[in-house]
Amino acid sequence: MGHSNYAARLVGACLAMGALWAAPASAANVVGHLRSPGVVWIDDGSKVQPISATMRNVEKSFIPEIVIVPVGSSITFPNDDPFFHNIYSTGGADTFDLGFYDMGPGKTEVLSKAGVLDVGCHIHKQMHAVIVVVDGPYTQTDDFAFKLADVRPGKHALHAWSVGYGERTVEVVVPSSGTLSVRFQI
Ligand SMILES: [Cu+2]
């Protein structure tokens, strides 16, 4: 009994220390504006958990039309239409071509590289969507203003993508505390 109590205390202590190590010793906020709705992310070395995202095919369109996922995430394309789609992507990162698939659960793709993917359909040229695969903390903005909280200090690549302007990357030096303000020309 004494041993199990000791073991429980030891595990508790290790978890507490792990929590301390996981939190950055110092951190700052990065704030700014975009010219249109978009996504901002920063490669500050912290790991972001992959997620399972969904982009539906509905009446020859994508819902939603913009999806942001961390590297390693999966994205599924359920087909709600009673006909085939053939979704594919172009862009500088993980490109894919899902082939033809009929109404139903659709297909799933794992995204292992950061970057912005333009998504289309070989059958319906009017279909268009964007997947932003990020390799660090990220935020999406609909009102042009953005804020990334608790960013690790140091020299990092700050990325932005906005509707109609595309992607930009700037190098920033994040202070150990306080707020860094960045204005993107996109
Ligand atoms: Cu289609």
Q: Which of 112, 55, 59, 49 is nearest to 88 (CA)?
A: 55
Mean pLDDT within 73-78: 98
| Span from the CA of 116 to the centroid of ligand 1 (angstroms) | 20
**Are the CB atoms for 98 and 3 separated by under 8 Å?**
no
Q: Find the 92 Cα to ligand 1 centroid distance in Å.
A: 22
Number of Cβ within a 10 Å radius of residue 53: 17
User: How sure is the predictor about 10, in pLDDT bands with cuts at 50, 70 and 90?
Assistant: very low
Q: Kindly give the distance from the C-alpha atom of residue 106 to the centroid of ligand 1, in angstroms, as a whole number.
A: 12
pLDDT above 60 for 84: yes
Q: What is the pLDDT of residues 177-186, one digit of tens each?
A: 999 999 888 8
How remote is the CA of residue 123 from the centroid of ligand 1, in Å? 5
Q: Is residue 18 part of a domain?
A: no
pLDDT value of position 88: 97
pLDDT of amino acid 184: 86
Q: Which residues contact 1 (CB under 8 A, 6 or more apart)?
A: none
- CA-to-CA dists, residue 168 to 12, 103, 140, angstroms: 44, 37, 15
Average pLDDT over residues 90-110: 92
Q: What is the pLDDT of residue 164?
A: 92
Could you tell me the distance, in angstroms and rounded to a whole number, from the CA of residue 60 to the centre of ligand 1? 6
The string of pLDDT tens digits covering residues 121-139 is 999 999 999 999 999 999 9
Does a structural domain hold residue 146? yes
Q: In sequence order, what DSSP letters do the residues of 27-46 get, joined into one string?
A: -EEEEEE-SSSEEEEEE-S-
Centre of ligand 1 to C-alpha 77, Å, is: 11
| Structural domain contains residue 15 | no
* Mean pLDDT confidence for 143-171: 94
- Domain count for the chain, please give it: 1
In a domain, 5, yes or no: no
Let me know if residue 7 belongs to a domain.
no
Return the CATH number at 135. Answer: 2.60.40.420
How far, in Å, is the centroid of ligand 1 from the Cα of 27?
45
Q: In percent, how much of the chain has pLDDT > 70?
A: 86
Any domain includes 21: no
Whole-number Å distance between alpha carbons of 163 and 67: 12
User: In this structure, are residues 136 and 43 in contact, taking their beta carbons and an 8 Å threshold?
Assistant: yes
Return the structure tokens found at 130: 């964007």
Dist. CA 160 → ligand 1 center (Å): 28
Beta strand pairing status for 115-121 and 87-91? antiparallel
In a domain, 92, yes or no: yes
Asked if residue 143 is part of any domain, the answer here is: yes
